[in-house]
Amino acid sequence: MADRNNVLMFRHPETPGMPDLEPSGATIDTARVIQRDNSEFLLVTTGARTLRGKKAAGCLLEPEVNDTVLIVRNLAAGTYILTVLERCGHAGRVMLPGDTTLCASDGALRLAGETVDVVGTAAASIAAPAIKLQGLRGEASFAELSLTACVAALKAGKLSLVAATIDTVAERITQRVKDCFRWVARTDSTKAGQINISAGNRLDLKAGDASLVARHGVKIDGDKIHLG
């Protein structure tokens, strides 16, 4: 014979002769949530009975006021909400106590929706051997940003960069462009061990005042030299 502590006992109103609910049994009923007090809910059953109950650990959808819920009553354990049967216009919330892991052991796990928000009150992280971000438009905003990569490649049809200060430290910088235009409002200063400037066709240097100073010698060579 089955253990009576593990048997759900029901009393159907249309079945005569059914025994009353025993202290070790449990009964299932529907109820409406009328109030929430921290982790407890004030419930009214279909028989107009007022109860106080808690959400069962397996009830993922968070009950809200005026929701219709399925409850189980046990004289020893109390009343628990098993699941939400009908919503009353509230947005659905899945509430899980403590640390929780969503895991797909033998397949892919996908979060899909018209919009998807990932919010962490303290922090949020994504870790994987390969990460891909794809979209028509993208926007990122940080008070502080740090990027570290062994190899980085950036491809863009048009790139705009606006910054108050840019500091670059590198072993070598190589640039290949078709046209380069620079506008410096105040000072353009270059310090180097050696500077080589090579122009295939023409080199023009213009200034309001110009000074060329060398420690040892200055050499000007050309088929024609015009001074003054």
HEC secondary structure over 56-102: CCCCCECCCCCCEEEEEEECCCEEEEEEEEECCCCCCCECCCCCCCC
Mean pLDDT over 49-59 rounds to 90
Q: Between 97 and 132, name the one with better pLDDT.
A: 132
3-state SS of 98-126 is CCCCCCCCCCCCCCCCCCCCCCCCCCCCC
**CA-based nearest residue to 79, from 29, 20, 38, 24:** 29
pLDDT of the residue at 101:
83
**Residue 128 is assigned to a structural domain of this protein:** no
**Domain range enclosing 77:** 25-86
**Residue 61 is assigned to a structural domain of this protein:** yes
Tell me, what CATH number does 55's domain have? 2.40.50.140
**Residue 53 is assigned to a structural domain of this protein:** yes
Mean pLDDT over 9-36 rounds to 63
Q: How confident is the model at residue 24 (pLDDT cuts 50, 70, 90)?
A: low
**CA-based nearest residue to 94, from 55, 61, 59:** 61
Q: Is the dihedral of CA 12, 14, 15, 16 positive or negative?
A: positive
**Residue 204 is assigned to a structural domain of this protein:** no
Q: How confident is the model at residue 9 (pLDDT cuts 50, 70, 90)?
A: very low
User: Model-level pTM greater than 0.75?
Assistant: no
Collapsing DSSP to helix, strand or coil, 19 comes out as coil
pLDDT tens track for 157-170: 898 988 899 999 99
Judged on CB neighbours under 10 Å (0-12, 13-18, 19+), 47 is exposed
The count of structural domains within the chain is 1
**Residue 44 is assigned to a structural domain of this protein:** yes
**Residue 186 is assigned to a structural domain of this protein:** no
Q: Over 90: is that where the pLDDT of 89 sits?
A: no
Mean pLDDT over 126-147 rounds to 90
Lowest mean pLDDT among 21-35, 100-114, 119-133, 175-189: 21-35
Q: Element (H or E) spanning 51, and its range? A: strand 50-55
pLDDT of the residue at 15:
38
Q: How confident is the model at residue 111 (pLDDT cuts 50, 70, 90)?
A: confident
